[in-house]
Chain A
């Protein structure tokens, strides 16, 4: 098949926008419902994230003239675009036409929404937004070290930066360690408890999103949902060489992908329900003191495997 067409199909249909947008709402619902049930609440109805989105789209926003307003409107769109691109890069279906080094592109696209959030908080010129952005920046510096080291150690042990090859690998002790490290970083990446300080709603309203309303806020919600899909999907593709084994039947591969992603969402929901929010210094200390050692161990053993074995 034409590689251009394949890439477009991945970006727009599966696992891109056509799949990822409903999946984003579904994952958001799964997370909210699971946390609610664990707290003995009813939780939102199934269609709630969708209706939230529709309702926000219909609202008008206060006029923000000039370049500042334009920049503020641009951040959520960039975040949605990059998160959707990250989902589109996931190697779910067979012969999906990845290229050498697409892992690095995926990591960059996964990181972009976080940078957009930081910039959006500062460009909204709200004190709560600025505090939230500062927290997000400090947090992202902390968890990204571990996150990147974990992924690089997996990639180095497999001697490739191609996602398709990583998805097809058979799990070794090293990859398991790497996946655990990625899982530890996901709560911070997705802003859920115990690392929900950038949007700590009881303290600083919504942090960087405080000044956003209407369609722009809807875009942020969508970007957040797409981040969920991308992050859990990345773990799902790394966990399961089964997806690669099931490549004969695309339907099965897609199904396993969705089931694994939902399992990761449920795992993170349990963590979110079981923990309280940490202060910024505790969060940073957690990543720098407790987790970094394991990440360094992982990458040094990966390099050892790479060069001496």
Chain B
């Protein structure tokens, strides 16, 4: 009989479905689109390694690297943000998942259409280590990118 009182309460409360323009509220621990800060990124590519859904791509070039993020493939697990030692990645709290951001849900016509890419010039390493580490960061991303 408990179920009947529950049904009666539901009936009196009315429907809870949000009709289209209305959006659900974002909770405090909501994980939205991943935000990238090129100024903080060192190009270590740990995020790419930790990304299980292969939403993050990383290409190392000479003196620069390209970091790209495909929100269509992202599962919003937050592993990349957890692993980022430089805090260059953040979970967007107000940036809602894709379908909620625009008035109409995005339509893919080609794969990776929603991808955002950043090409960042590689910063010189911090000044303390002198000669050896200068060479070290350059080859470092390459294995990361090849993994």
How many residues of chain B are within 8 Å of chain A by beta carbon? Answer: 11
CB distance from B57 to the nearest CB of A (A): 37
Contact status B17-A37, CB under 8 Å: no
CB contacts under 8 Å to B, within A117-152, are none
Contact status A37-B3, CB under 8 Å: no
A residues with CB within 8 A of B: 36-43, 270, 273-275
Contact status A270-B17, CB under 8 Å: no
**In the bound complex, CA of A39 to CA of B10 (Å):** 6
Interface hub of B4, B7, B17, B19 (most chain A Cβ within 10 A): B7
A37-B10 contact in complex given A42-B17, A42-B19, A43-B15, C-beta closer than 8 Å: yes
Specify the chain A residue showing the minimal Cβ separation from B18.
Answer: A42
**In the bound complex, CA of A39 to CA of B9 (Å):** 10
Specify the chain B residue showing the minimal Cβ separation from A276.
Answer: B3
Contact of B15 among A40, A273, A274, A275 (CB under 8 A): A40
What are 22 A-B pairs at a CB distance below 8 A? A36-B15, A37-B10, A37-B11, A37-B15, A38-B7, A39-B10, A40-B10, A40-B13, A40-B14, A40-B15, A40-B16, A40-B17, A41-B16, A41-B17, A42-B15, A42-B17, A42-B19, A270-B7, A274-B3, A274-B4, A274-B7, A275-B3
CB distance from B2 to the nearest CB of A (A): 10
A38-B10 contact in complex given A274-B3, A274-B4, C-beta closer than 8 Å: yes
Contact status B10-A270, CB under 8 Å: no
CB distance from B1 to the nearest CB of A (A): 9
Other CB < 8 Å A-B pairs besides A38-B10, A41-B16, 12 of them? A36-B15, A37-B10, A37-B11, A38-B7, A40-B13, A40-B14, A40-B15, A42-B15, A42-B17, A43-B15, A270-B4, A270-B7
Specify the chain A residue showing the minimal Cβ separation from B3.
Answer: A274
Contact residues in A for B13 (Cβ distance below 8 Å): 40
**In the bound complex, CA of A159 to CA of B10 (Å):** 46
Contact residues in A for B11 (Cβ distance below 8 Å): 37-38
CB distance from B111 to the nearest CB of A (A): 30
**In the bound complex, CA of A275 to CA of B14 (Å):** 20
CB distance from B85 to the nearest CB of A (A): 45
